[in-house]
Structure 1
């Protein structure tokens, strides 16, 4: 069954009370982790960490409307408006622990392979993206990432500009560049994701063609031939007016992070401006694609 994780940093003294708040907001389970053993929020270069020593992790059904959860939690005196948090789709396994033994090169579409650096490349003549584990979401193991990679592999990206909205590890932007895109732009709300994308781009020799932005820093006139957004259904609906402006006329749009049961509602937010393709499903998740009118 698919799940969503919400991670919040706090102190040990407040963790239990915050855990109760997560349960009241709809979490089916809550766990606590020592921040020093399993860092979730890493300080930026030169930054001193001033927040707590415990990460509280709530597990929610993937159909949960996370914006509603966040709005409810913002009413908690312990948190307040704009509290620091991280929302992500839960990978099928804890690949950060099992990666070395269980992760092998994976093929997506006809040309594209995602390969860990310690494995031999199956096909030196293929398009190979080298990706090692990190804290940012996006390894290719989750069905939503797989659906996006397969879609990118099927496009003619030569000379095109691609925007990866919610770039995470940078896997989609990097794959697009190695598939022939002239330029890629990654956008993410998490500084840690920006750093992970930058590191992975350098590892793959494409960093000079990848621009990375936090939303507050991105140019106002961004546009691209291809836009891919692998986030969650709620944000895809809420941000539809913004995301819809990013593809050029005749440009391609790919959306994922959506359960099959959520596809109709998400598609409805884009149908006025895009000629949408039939929805593609994989393991309860789906991908919506289309061309801008």
Structure 2
């Protein structure tokens, strides 16, 4: 059996709640409309999840539901390659896909992490990385999840990338994905806190929610090399100004 988390929200809050769940490191979020017209968001925080792990920005009602393993994995049947750009595809590792000529294909197995590559914020981050990465640059991926951004950066030409994440599952998943994409020697991953990280990086990417970006802003600036680029994503429109204010020293 697999433990599923079900959060019930008004339809207007569905996007906000979904983003909050992505920020907790979930792999997928399924939306279901219940009989009262509200939206149920089904996801998983792992079979050992407790109430302490359900950190939501609003007091939406939620519950844990035990679901048969076969049912919990049905989303994999519907996973499809995602075209990030005309010549860039993120493909679920288990989905057959013939690499078209001239197209960069990233094969990702999310395991128990966030980062299939199909979330809009991930796609935007990949596009930005592709334009900013240059030969010999170093990259830090804060909240790396499956490692898709760190791996993408190395495939695009970075000298090396380091991924960090508070979720222990990110370490084996990112390691395996880096190997599958031929960049294992250039991708490192750990659960080291950003505050404890030494050194600086030419390019820092953080695809996480606004509260985390604000809380980590000082350290994001600290690890960014002079003249480097910071890519941030995962920000709802209403939090945009707050994040920019926290990162004001970059201006």
- TM-score, normalised on structure 2? 0.73
**What are the superposed Cα offsets for residues 38-72 of structure 1, whole Å, 9 maximum, x if unpaired?**
9xxxxxxxxxxxxxxxxxxxxxxxxxxxxxxxxxx
Instruction: Indicate conservation of the 8 Å contact 1:107/1:113, yes or no.
Output: yes
Query: What is the deviation of 1:232?
Result: 1.0
Q: CA 1:133–1:95 in 2, change beyond 3 Å: closer, same or farther?
A: farther
Q: CA 1:10–1:151 in 2, change beyond 3 Å: closer, same or farther?
A: closer
Instruction: Indicate conservation of the 8 Å contact 1:116/1:132, yes or no.
Output: yes
**1:129 alignment partner, one of 106, 109, 113:** 106
Map 1:109-148; keep pairs closer than 5 Å.
109=85, 111-117=87-93, 118-148=95-125
For these two proteins, the number of residue pairs brought into alignment is 212
- TM-score, normalised on structure 1? 0.64
Q: CA 1:268–1:183 in 2, change beyond 3 Å: closer, same or farther?
A: same
Map 1:123-272; keep pairs closer than 5 Å.
123-216=100-193, 220-272=197-249
Instruction: Indicate conservation of the 8 Å contact 2:90/2:118, yes or no.
Output: no
Question: Once superposed, which parts of structure 1, at least 4 consecutive aligned residues long, lie more than 3 Å away?
Answer: 6-11, 22-27, 33-38, 216-220
- CA RMSD of superposed structures (Å): 3.2
Q: CA 1:217–1:29 in 2, change beyond 3 Å: closer, same or farther?
A: closer
The structure number with the bigger radius of gyration is: 1
Match of 2:80 in 1: 104
Query: What is the deviation of 1:123?
Result: 2.1
* SS in structure 2 at match of 1:119: coil
Q: CA 1:95–1:240 in 2, change beyond 3 Å: closer, same or farther?
A: farther
The answer to which structure has the higher helix fraction is 2
Instruction: Indicate conservation of the 8 Å contact 2:141/2:163, yes or no.
Output: yes
Query: What is the deviation of 1:255?
Result: 0.7
